[in-house]
């Protein structure tokens, strides 16, 4: 088999988040890359005659995107803690010379957002850059997140976005991955 070196991709991604895909904005620098996980939960359908699985079926799918937000803004902290960052219900307020993140009691319903992650696609060379774009219309930050103030390291916010299916997009409920050709 021949090796196509331009199909070996490296490089960072740019993460954008917003209320809808049309309103996403870049969250700034990330750290340690972005991990996209597709986790099917497989179930064996066993029968007595085989003593093993006669069939294997998918009982559920879990899709997630993990990264660390390296810019320690209050907006990014609100994303990491799944707080509202826009609109009348925003947990961020602005004063004349201050910005405040309110940490009150939250609704049992997490904030859902849209996400676009753009990085390098196969076919990129030293003179040509092609992009791969992951687009998800329903994501929410669903794991605990903490950060530390350390002398010799930057503050970063770990985030683990769960991608939820969007029933309005038949055949691409979890989103799309598009490579520029």
* pLDDT reading at 37 higher than 90: yes
The CA–CA distances, whole Å, from 80 to 122, 123, 176 equal 31, 33, 23
* pLDDT reading at 33 higher than 80: yes
The CA–CA distances, whole Å, from 171 to 9, 22, 58, 86, 176 equal 27, 20, 16, 30, 10
Domain map of the chain by residue range?
5-179
Confidence band (pLDDT; 50, 70, 90) for 54?
Answer: very high
Fold of 5-179: Pnp Oxidase; Chain A (2.30.110)
Distance between CA atoms of residues 112 and 94, nearest Å: 23
Distance between CA atoms of residues 26 and 17, nearest Å: 7
Q: Whose CA is closest to 43, among 61, 21, 66?
A: 61
Supply the mean pLDDT for the chain.
94
Q: Give the predicted TM-score (pTM) of the model.
A: 0.89
The tokens describing 48, both together, are: 């007595």
Q: Whose CA is closest to 135, among 9, 38, 20, 39?
A: 20
pLDDT, position 85: 84
Average pLDDT over residues 1-9: 90
- ∠ CA(75), CA(79), CA(81), 5° rounding? 115
pLDDT, position 95: 92
* pLDDT reading at 87 higher than 90: no
pLDDT tens across 95-137, in order? Answer: 999 999 999 888 889 999 999 999 999 999 989 999 999 999 9
Q: Which helix (H) or strand (E) holds 179?
A: strand 176-179
pLDDT tens across 143-180, in order? Answer: 999 999 999 999 999 999 999 999 999 999 999 999 99
DSSP track, 23-64? G-EE---EEEEEEEEEEEEEEEEEETTTTEEEEEEEEEEEEE
């Amino acid at each position: 088999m021949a090796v196509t070196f331009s199909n070996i991709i490296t490089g960072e991604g740019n993460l954008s988040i917003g209320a809808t895909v049309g309103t996403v904005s870049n969250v700034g620098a990330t750290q340690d890359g972005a991990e996209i996980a597709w986790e099917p939960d497989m179930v064996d359908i066993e029968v007595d005659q085989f003593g093993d699985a006669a069939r294997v079926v998918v009982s559920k799918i879990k899709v997630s995107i993990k990264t660390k937000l390296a810019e320690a803004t209050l907006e990014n902290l609100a994303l990491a803690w799944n707080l509202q960052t826009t609109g009348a219900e925003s947990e961020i307020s602005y004063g004349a010379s201050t910005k405040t993140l309110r940490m009150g009691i939250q609704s049992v319903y997490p904030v859902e957002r849209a996400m676009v992650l753009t990085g390098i696609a196969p076919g990129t060379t030293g003179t040509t850059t092609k992009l791969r774009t992951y687009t998800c219309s329903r994501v929410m930050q669903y794991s605990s997140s903490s950060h530390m103030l350390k002398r010799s390291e930057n503050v970063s916010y770990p985030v683990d976005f769960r991608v939820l299916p969007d029933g309005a997009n038949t055949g691409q409920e979890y989103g799309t991955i598009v490579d520029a050709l």
